[in-house]
A and B are shown apart, each in its own frame.
Chain A
Amino acid sequence: MTVAQFFGCALIAFGPPISMFALTIAKDPIRTIMLVASSFFWLLALLFSSILYTLSPSYRTPSSLELSSLSYFRNCLVSGLGFGMISGAFSLVNVLADMTGPGTIGMKGDPYNFFIASAVTSLAFIMLHVFWGILFVNAIHRRAYLQLAYVILCHMLASCITLINPLYSVTIPTVWILTILSGVLAFIVAGGSHRTIKAAIGGHPRVLQVTTSDGNTTATVNEG
């Protein structure tokens, strides 16, 4: 009964994006709309590239939605997540639907771990899109051309390496290394460092000292 495979692969590939959506985005309506909008633009890009795939050598235009705001990293995350989720959906949903029948792949010579590989690679690409979103926009904003080049090259490399699927021993590690690399870069660009991680894990206790005067209350926070 490979409804089990369906749930397994769906959760592997879409679990992290869904948790990101649920915890970060779902509360805020504007972010949700941004998510849908970035999915829409990815679809437009895909549509253009398919038109040209059908007619002639094609090109793809990723959207260069310029965002900048006080918390634009969070918004980059949102748009990256939008791109990522829709690209993951488009690459995996039909495969998931085919998985729900009673059979699994492999009878006609395909590798048995086709499904897991697809799910894991989809997850990697979703995360890659998120990180690229952050890096890309930041790069454009700060005119950091090196970052820009990195994003483009990374994208090219990741996509090209999947061309040699099903040689999973090469493609999946490569893609994941790229994901982790991009993730670390995005983290740094967004303002993190090993010190912030320490601080976050540490969780300094705060002591409040309260003084009242004239109906105004003053609270004092001590970092212990």
Chain B
Amino acid sequence: MDGHVNIDRDDKVVAVEDSVNKGVKKKRRSQNQEDASGGQPPTQSIQPGAQNDGGVALDTNAAFSNDHVQENGPQGVVRRHQRGGGGAEQEPAGSAPPARRGTTQETRQSRHPPGEWEEVEEEEEELKYGAQHVIKLFIPVSLCMLVVVATVSSVTFYTEKGTYLLYTPFHEESQSIGDKVYDALRNALILLGVVVALTIVLIILYKKRCYKIIHGWLLMSSLLLLFIFTIIYMMELLRGYNLGMDWITVSICVWNFGVMGMVSIHWHGPLRLQQAYLIFIASLMSLMFIKYLPEYTLWMVLAVISIWDLVAVLSPKGPLRILVETAQERNEPIFPALIYSYTRMTQMLLEMEQWRAKLVHREKEIPQGGGMQKMDMWLEMEMLRLIPFHKNNARICLVNYYQLNIQPLKLDEITKIDAMEKDKILPERGVKLGLGDFIFYSVLVGKASSYGDWNTTIACFIAILIGLCLTLIMLAIFKKALPALPISITFGLIFYFSTSLLVVPFTEQLASEQVYI
């Protein structure tokens, strides 16, 4: 939702929705008292979405009647009663002064305490922006899970057991559960040992600036994934659907696919293509894990790896923390093959340039006299579009019911806004999520779906998304690198086991008796 302000006339309470935090922040505020003189736009852009009380239709809205308009008293649509001024709750420290409002701000200083609306706005902006970050990560994570779940449901190869990796020498072949759990634990610890060892090797190489070796290693692993695993995937897909394909077509396809992948991941390529490839190789890895790890081992590995992630990223001597800090010290980006980022520096700047260009264009479009036709259409479009829309490209205020005052912002004002926004709202140019996180999320959901019960799959999916959301909130609060696995995997595991053991019999019974709750 937009960061709207809702004024409830009964409670005289203004509450600001903070959906990302799922809490409620309430602020008592005074109303800004504007006189009804034209030409003095209020400090903020429009606040649409104000609630009228139930049952009152638009045309009886007092604010819209002519009578109100003639009065020069403090009024506005957003309130019905006079409210006492002053007594405003102090805004939290650190809210920037509304310098961006330009010259018109000063005239209004006397009329209302500065900063309240702005601060609410800024918080709303941050919330909305934060929520956008979250959604921009939800989508690739969901896509990866979707690919894994779709493959696991349709191709039986990835759920067939029989071959195992060297890293998991205990194959859980005994009948008792205790033995299996013990085997699983040992397997998980062996895998953890391998992961720790490789991470330490990576750190050492990074510290010693052996970039060539690291790049070579990453190249080799992407080569393996993009060619060999892709061939296996393609073969199993074809076999699962009983389609035949000759070797020539297969080689051409896989060759092109692989080379394109290598280029877009390790060199330059369109952003969307790189993202798509990263999602694909994450799904391939997840599928490999699902196939080659025995049952209990897989769950144990998930738990152990999340604990490892927690330790490695948060503890002062943790290898991943060392890696991130070293990268930040040296002001280098972390290797592209390991990280998913939904935006890029050049992309963002490019977008801002385009935005600016649009505004300038609009300003130039406004005919300065005559040309009513064009003005009509433009204004109508703008009104219909801008009224319910909050955008920093025009100040719109209501002169009266029939008259709308649209003042496009001047170019320098826009520039200032951009600069401020850039610093305030874009501290890091986008959130990055490691590929390992994608892999383990998809492993959890893929394994849950391999048992054929969709309720469990959906529950795990939601749990992981919520965990990711919480992690990003914490990221916004703490503003430093955080492990993305623990919360999501914990939720995921809890939900998996509880749903499959407790909920499923319940809902199965309900569904077969067609009882709804």
Contacts and interface: CB of A to CB of B under 8 A. Distances in A.
B17 A210 contact: no
A220 B401 CA distance: 8
B6 interface: yes
Contact of B1 (A50, A74, A209, A212): A74
Contact of B368 (A54, A87, A121, A212): A212
A91 B507 contact: yes
Interface stretch (B86-94, B425-433, B459-467): B459-467
Contacts of B50: 70
A208 B379 contact: yes
A133 to B, nearest CB: 15
Given A43-B462, A196-B58, A218 B405 contact: yes
Contacts of B4: 69-71
A36 B131 contact: no
Contacts of A138: 54
Contact-residue bracket for chain A: 35 or more
Contacts of B17: 67-70, 72, 75
A157 B278 CA distance: 50
Given A75-B1, A94-B511, A199 B506 contact: no
Contact of B135 (A29, A40, A60, A72): A29
B107 interface: no
Contacts of A222: 402
Interface string A21-38: 000000011111110110
A34 B18 CA distance: 10
B495 A43 contact: yes
Contacts of B52: 191
Interface stretch (B197-205, B294-302, B369-377): B369-377
Interface stretch (B255-263, B279-287, B496-504): B496-504
Contacts of B453: 94
- Residue in B2, B4, B38, B462 whose Cβ sees the most chain A Cβ within 10 Å: B462
A162 B376 contact: no
A74 to B, nearest CB: 7
B441 to A, nearest CB: 14
Interface in A199-224: 199, 206, 208-210, 212, 214-222
Interface of B is mostly: mixed
A60 B516 CA distance: 13
Nearest to B5: A70
A32 B380 CA distance: 30
B506 A53 contact: yes
A86 B517 contact: no
B65 to A, nearest CB: 12
Interface string A173-211: 000000000000000111101011001000000101110
Interface string B477-517: 00000000000000000010011001101111011011111
Contacts of A70: 4-7, 17, 47, 49-51
Interface of A is mostly: helix
B226 to A, nearest CB: 32
Interface stretch (B19-27, B165-173, B213-221): B19-27
Nearest to A32: B135
Given A51-B498, A221-B383, A72 B54 contact: no
B353 to A, nearest CB: 23
- Residue in A47, A66, A75, A189 whose Cβ sees the most chain B Cβ within 10 Å: A47
B5 to A, nearest CB: 5
Contact of B57 (A159, A190, A199): A199
Interface string B1-37: 1101111101000011101101010000000000000
B514 A121 contact: yes
B514 A166 contact: yes
Given A33-B19, A221-B404, A199 B380 contact: no
B15 A69 contact: yes
A145 interface: no
A71 B6 contact: yes
- Residue in A36, A117, A138 whose Cβ sees the most chain B Cβ within 10 Å: A36
A195 B132 CA distance: 37
A105 to B, nearest CB: 10
A46 interface: yes
A93 B1 contact: no
Given A28-B1, A40-B466, A43-B459, A121 B516 contact: yes
Contacts of B49: 70-71, 74
A114 B514 CA distance: 8
Contacts of A162: 514-516
Contacts of B406: 217-219
B347 interface: no
Interface in A117-152: 117-118, 121-122, 125, 138, 142
A217 B380 CA distance: 13
Given A51-B498, A121-B514, A163-B515, A39 B402 contact: no
Nearest to B371: A210
A195 B469 CA distance: 42
A209 B399 CA distance: 13
B24 A218 contact: no
B58 A93 contact: no
B103 interface: no
Interface in B397-422: 399, 401-407
Given A29-B132, A50-B503, A74-B1, A125 B516 contact: yes
A190 B513 CA distance: 35
Contacts of B454: 93-94, 96-97
- Residue in B128, B511, B516 whose Cβ sees the most chain A Cβ within 10 Å: B516
Contacts of A191: 51-57
Given A114-B514, A189-B54, A219-B404, A30 B379 contact: no
Contacts of B402: 209, 220-222
In the complex, the 5 A-B pairs of residues with the closest C-beta atoms, listed nearest first = A70-B6, A69-B17, A70-B4, A29-B131, A29-B135
Given A118-B511, A118-B514, 9 more contacts: A53-B506, A70-B49, A71-B4, A71-B49, A91-B507, A125-B516, A191-B51, A220-B402, A221-B383
25 contacts: A29-B132, A29-B134, A30-B1, A32-B135, A32-B138, A37-B469, A43-B499, A47-B495, A51-B498, A54-B502, A71-B1, A74-B1, A91-B516, A93-B454, A97-B452, A97-B454, A117-B514, A121-B516, A158-B516, A193-B55, A195-B59, A208-B380, A215-B368, A216-B407, A221-B383
Interface of A: 28-34, 36-37, 39-40, 43, 46-47, 49-51, 53-54, 60, 65-75, 86-87, 89-97, 114, 117-118, 121-122, 125, 138, 142, 158-159, 162-163, 165-166, 188-191, 193, 195-196, 199, 206, 208-210, 212, 214-222
